[in-house]
Amino acid sequence: MTIPDDHDVYHGNIWGAGGKATPPGLSGAAAQDAGGYKLSPEFVNMVQRTMASHLPEPFDPTPVEQGIEVYYTDLLYGGVSFAVIEDRKFKSAPAPMLPEARVRNGWPQNLEFDPKSEADAPGATLLGDRQLEFLENWANDWSDGAWMKVALSQTLFTNLATLPDSATSGSVIPSLPILAPDEYAEGDKFVSDMDSNGWPQTGRNKALRAMRKGFAVHLAGDQHLGSTVQYGVDDWRDAGFALCVPSIANFWPRRWYPPQPGANRDPDAARYTGDYEDGFGNKMTVMAVSNPHRWGREPAALHDRAPGYGIARFVRSTRQISLAAWPRWSDPAADAPYPGWPVTFAQQDNYGRAAIAYLPRLEITGMREPVVQVVSERTGEIVYTLRIAGDPFVPKVFALGRYTLHVGEPGTDRMQTFEHVPAASEGEGVIAVAF
């Protein structure tokens, strides 16, 4: 599966701004910062068809501005339901929305500008309403035997990178020294690169809230730095896990050397793991990172930049997920991944939000792996949907009140509904569900 990205349409970075054309008379970073596409819609459509025409039909095929086509869709393979997201095409350009930041190539040049408190511009778009609707629909659709949800996109929903304190953009990255495996770059700072999906923060959080309703894990690339994180929205670890795969040939070797150890980290884990806020104030828990190092492999110009690939494993019987970033030189049948991997967790950890209350225990007979959907009767909102691994199951909820439960096999007559189910702080009672 291939997703087009910025370089495929001859951009260094791209903020598609709903498909508009970049303003006439601009070129290079100035054109990119203004938003839109530099090349013709015919060329953009050709690139997209070449790379993505094998995908199923889009969720909503309506073209964006200039007649540029869309390809965001879902794909079911082996019971794993993939959402293919376009996280560039609808994204607002930061420079017009944040003139006071003096943005160049996605980097604020005004040293007085505080990205944590000032960058979340009102009206700024990340995925756009159409793709948020798609994600909500996808997270709630477990038909045709789907048992796992995986979101695929160009880049991470956080800005996992640091740079020396004097740097004002990522242009210094190729010239930074590459350290030995036991060395640490002191004096780095968290950065605010608006090419990452850490910006805009509101759009980022809307996407994660939709994805976690389906307990989805996230697979991405683009950032060059192999990494595994767990996202946080309102609190650390309350949303899904993500794997950013390393670049296969990493000519732009980003790095992660935070100035202090992360909070709540495993005492045996690397100093750069644990709970952090990125340069935009987004919560993230860093599990593993493949920083560039002098590995002693030739050619050093290739291998020292931590190139490689990622492998994600999904185990249906246990609903365990294992993520790992591997060195380019490694044989996964005989070698080990980069240090810190694999990272293994349970499917339900992708909605790690702490429960406020619980619904009665579901004891289900006559169906091995039913889908359970929880709906708030106060708001009418679907809280989450999940194909459970087995019986029994105690649904967690995030507010007291009454809920509607849908249990069974979607799209068939083997579906039962239970209304006005009360939540309790400890969970009380049993609901027997027989098929």
pLDDT over threshold 90, residue 390: no
At 391, the pLDDT band (50, 70, 90 cuts) reads confident
Share of the chain above pLDDT 90, in %: 95
DSSP string, 308-354: EEEEEEEETTTTEEEEEEEETT--TTTS--STT--EEEEGGGGG-PP
Chain centroid offset of residue 206 CA:
12
Read off the pLDDT of each residue in 52-69 and give the average, rounded to a whole number.
97
Share of the chain above pLDDT 70, in %: 100
The answer to whether residues 410 and 214 touch, using CB atoms and an 8 Å cutoff, is no
Tell me the backbone φ, ψ of residue 432, rounded to 5 degrees: -90, 125
Instruction: Supply the angle between the helices 128-140 and 201-212 in degrees, to the nearest 10.
Output: 20
* pLDDT tens string 28-42: 889 999 999 999 999
Predicted pLDDT at 28: 87
Predicted pLDDT at 430: 95
Rg (alpha carbons) of the chain, rounded to whole number: 22
Predicted pLDDT at 115: 98
Averaged pLDDT score across all residues of the chain: 96
At 426, the pLDDT band (50, 70, 90 cuts) reads confident
pLDDT over threshold 80, residue 427: no
* pLDDT tens string 282-297: 999 999 999 999 999 9
pLDDT over threshold 90, residue 250: no
Chain centroid offset of residue 96 CA:
25
pLDDT over threshold 90, residue 343: yes
Distance CA 234, CA 236 (A): 7
* pTM of the predicted model as reported, rounded to 2 decimal places: 0.97
Predicted pLDDT at 386: 98
* pLDDT tens string 115-126: 999 999 999 999
Read off the pLDDT of each residue in 190-216 and give the average, rounded to a whole number.
98
Distance CA 110, CA 100 (A): 7
Please give the domain boundaries of the chain with CATH numbers for all domains.
Answer: 6-351 (3.60.21), 357-434 (2.60.40.10)
pLDDT over threshold 70, residue 265: yes
Predicted pLDDT at 352: 96
Q: Which two tokens stand for residue 115?
A: 């990205």
Read off the pLDDT of each residue in 215-244 and give the average, rounded to a whole number.
97
pLDDT over threshold 80, residue 227: yes
At 100, the pLDDT band (50, 70, 90 cuts) reads very high
At 1, the pLDDT band (50, 70, 90 cuts) reads low
In 3D space, the residue among 329, 144, 176, 328 whose CA is nearest the CA of residue 245 turns out to be: 328
What type of residue sits at position 306? A
Q: How many CB atoms lie within 10 A of CB 261?
A: 14
Read off the pLDDT of each residue in 81-106 and give the average, rounded to a whole number.
97
At 415, the pLDDT band (50, 70, 90 cuts) reads very high
